[in-house]
Amino acid sequence: MINLERLHNILGGRKAFLSTIAISAAVANIIASILIGHRFDNQNPKFLRLVELIKDIIRLLGSPSVLIYNAFPTLIRWLPGNHKTIKRYSVELQTFVKEMFTKHKTELDINDPRNLIDSFLIKQLEKEIEKVIGSSWPQSEHRKLVPYTNAVIHETQRFADIIPLNVPHATTRDVTFKGYVLPKGTPVIPMLSPILNDKDRFQRPDEFYPQHFLDSEGNFIRNENFLPFSTGRRSCVGENLAKMEIFLFFTRLLQNLTLRAPPGTNFDLPSGIGFTSIPPYHKMCAMPRTQI
């Protein structure tokens, strides 16, 4: 399910590969499989273009011209800038997705709700999506049984600080906050990064420290300051699905492979500037555990 066969074919770890691209394509394929019950070939030009569009849109969302546009949309709307590039990319992305969904809808079997899209199309909302693929594969139920793995995943999200800023909100009524009056309709952009890196909330915010999510006995503990998906009514609607996917992807990957940096390579932590904290491209070696 996670294209492990492709990684296994990289000469037993002797050949480095662009891990960001490979993993991004694999994750995109998982989402496509859940939504429409279809997987793309990783070398499919349209699929690769889809992955590239999403990456570029996210990167451009953090550019100075887009930040200025978000603050003064009426004034900047007609000027050239990355906000126009995002709009053009978004139209291309929406066209691709609409074509994909339209094709899927024509093939819908009302007696065979294969996936999430089918469930919405036949007006049946499923409370929870579980994918059982056999005892040899990790399942979402295993998450509570592996507290350290769960803590490592949570700490990775906190330390990586993927989304420093939340999506823009607006006040629905006049609000007074710490002595400041915010009229109805005032744009508000929540800052997530200061919370995830606050010394008062996390013991060692500048270090990768899984113990942030473990008690003294090694049990996993929830931290109310862990907000990588934001919070409140406008938090990420796909949070539960994302958590399940990350856990299954991560554990299955490490079940089969040991990931190492190529000899003589040191990874640099600084990330690119954008709407998200984009990690720099780096090569990685994937070694089947049977060969270790």
Residues contributing to the annotated binding site for heme: 236
Structure tokens at 157: 């999200």
Q: Is the dihedral of CA 155, 160, 164, 168 positive or negative?
A: negative
Looking at the chain, how many residues does it have? Answer: 292
The sheet carrying 283-288 orders its strands as 17-18, 283-288, 257-260
3-state helix, strand, coil in the chain (%, to 5): 45, 10, 45
Q: In 179-290, which residue ranges form alpha helices assigned H by DSSP?
A: 193-196, 239-256
User: What distance in Å separates the CA atoms of residue 183 and residue 175, rounded to the nearest whole number?
Assistant: 6
Residues placed in the known binding site: 236
